[in-house]
A = this chain, B = another copy of it.
Amino acid sequence: MQRTTTIIDYSLQEEKIARYAKALSHPIRIRILQFLDRQSCCFTGDFTEEIPMAQSTISQHLKELKEAGLIQGDVMPPRIKYCINQAAWAEAKKYFNEFFQ
């Protein structure tokens, strides 16, 4: 990326919106979130049945959503139960609403 000079202080709002938007920037992740929203909670296996992609790829998208804070995973051996993180979801909603007026 050849980052030579630029250092920019982004506002919290700029950072937050960009971060959440990045998490939403792939159609598979939109599908995962909407699926989660309907089911309330899912195991990884539910997604691999629903979405025709390699299990490892889906796991990677779940990780991206988790790192953005939008979902959380609770260990229930041998499975992992994913739910939407309602607090983060509400925050994202607030920031996007505000952004679009």
Contact = CB atoms under 8 A, between A and B. Distances in A.
A62 B57 CA distance: 31
Nearest to A8: B52
A39 interface: no
Interface of A: 5-8, 10, 13-15, 17-18, 21-31, 34, 51-54, 57, 89, 92-93, 96-97, 99-101
Contact of A53 (B8, B29, B89, B96): B8
Given A13-B30, A24-B99, A34-B99, 6 more contacts: A8-B28, A17-B27, A18-B24, A21-B22, A92-B100, A96-B96
A54 to B, nearest CB: 7
